[in-house]
Each structure stands twice: as C-alpha cells, then as structure tokens.
Amino acid sequence: MTDLGFPVQTLRRFVETLSAEIGQDTFSSVLSKAGLPRAWAKPEHFMDMNYQQAAEEYARLQSALRTYYGRGARGILLRIGTKLWNVLLNDSSFGLKTQASLIRGLPKSLRRKQALELLARILGSKRGDVTVHTLDLDLLLVDQSSPTTLNQSDDAPICFVTLGLIRECLFWAVGEEHDIEERACHAAGARQCEFKITIGGRA
C-alpha cells in the first residue's frame, strides 16, 4: 500500500479507549511484551506524527494486542471499536454532525447506508478510502486503505475494531443488531478489506 493515511486524532482516541478498556497496567504489559515503547500508552505521544506514521502505529498496536490476548483479542478489539464509534462521532466536524442529525430523521430503511457512508467519511483520510455499496438487499463496506492490516499477515481477517465500529454505527442508526462478516481482508491476501452487512428483509 502506498500513500496510506490514518487520522492522527482517530489513533489518539483509539489509544484512550484501549487504555480504558484493558487498564493502564495491562496496556503497559502489552507494549512491553511486543517490544514497543511505554510512551505509546499515552495519547499525547501521537500528537506530532503524520498520517503514515499514525497508520503504522495503529497496525502495530493491534498486532501487539492480538499476540498478547490470542483468541481473546477479537472480543476486546470488537468492544473497543463499539465504544469508539460515539467518541469519533462526537469529535467529527460540524458538517458530519449535521449529516448525522439528518440521518436520524430518515425512515429506518434509508438510515443504514447513509450511516455507513458517514462512518466511511470519518474513517478515511481522503475521499474514496472507504466506500459503501449495495448488494441486492444487503450492504458492503469496502476499506481500500485498511490501516489495521499495514505490514500484517494472517490466515484469517483481523479488522475487529472496524467490525465493532460498523456494528455500533448501525445500532446507533436503527437500534438493531446486524450480522456483519469481514469476508475479505488485506492481511489474509485480499486486495482490500470487505465487510458484508446482512439486511435481508428488514424494514
């Protein structure tokens, strides 16, 4: 991937949410086991880096968590993604907050795609990084930059934070849980990360 970018403020909010979820002492242990600087546990450490550096450290932090927790990492990262949604929404620009207010006023059947497009704008460092598509009755979110997977390789999909963000974004929009599957992941050899949201016959 070239010219990969990841918003620095999003990385800082991720670190804050992570620290609150697992505790400062455990966070320090995760960093120590991975050979990462202890300073990474402090959100202010990331203030002066560029988008490329933010993407690299976002990926390395999640890799460290997957190593430390093993199979348990999926649940922890999903929870972090779930909690991150409202944090990022509150941090968003006036324009995005206005868009969010308009979405909540739409009929339920129209809210899901609009909400995912809002999430795509929040996550992407530039337009087109993250896109949303219709699949018959279902939806597909495509993350072409996918900073989680930067320099990562795995046999299975690893974008659990993004999965949690999608889950909470849709719950925020319509008050319902959805079946969401990362059906392709760059870390597992795919060209891009793809998340299928099953809507079926829901109104």
Which one, of 123, 115, 201, lies nearest residue 161 by Cα? 123
User: Helix axis angle, 73-91 relative to 160-174, nearest 10°?
Assistant: 50
**Model confidence band, residue 150 (pLDDT cutoffs 50, 70, 90):** very high
| Long-range residue pairs from 28-32, CB within 8 A, at least 24 positions apart, any chain | 29/68, 30/64, 30/65, 30/68, 31/64
Question: What value does the mean pLDDT take over residues 47-61?
Answer: 91
Q: Are 155 and 187 in contact (CB under 8 A)?
A: no
Model pTM above 0.85: yes
Q: What is the pLDDT of residue 1?
A: 43
Rounded-to-integer distance, Cα 137 and Cα 153, Å = 32
* Per-chain mean pLDDT for the chain: 92
**CA 200 to mean position of chain CA atoms:** 24
Q: What is the pLDDT of residue 124?
A: 82
Q: Which phi and psi (to 5°) does residue 183 adopt?
A: -90, -10
Q: What is the pLDDT of residue 2?
A: 45
90-103 pLDDT per residue, tens = 999 999 999 999 99
Contacts of 104 (CB under 8 A, 6+ apart): 111, 173
Q: Are 14 and 64 in contact (CB under 8 A)?
A: no
20-32 pLDDT per residue, tens = 999 999 999 999 9
CB atoms within 10 A of CB 52: 16
Q: What is the pLDDT of residue 125?
A: 72
**CA 71 to mean position of chain CA atoms:** 19
What domains does the chain contain, in order, with CATH numbers?
8-198 (3.90.1520.10)
Sign of the CA dihedral 150, 29, 165, 89? negative
Rounded-to-integer distance, Cα 161 and Cα 56, Å = 15
Rounded-to-integer distance, Cα 121 and Cα 84, Å = 15
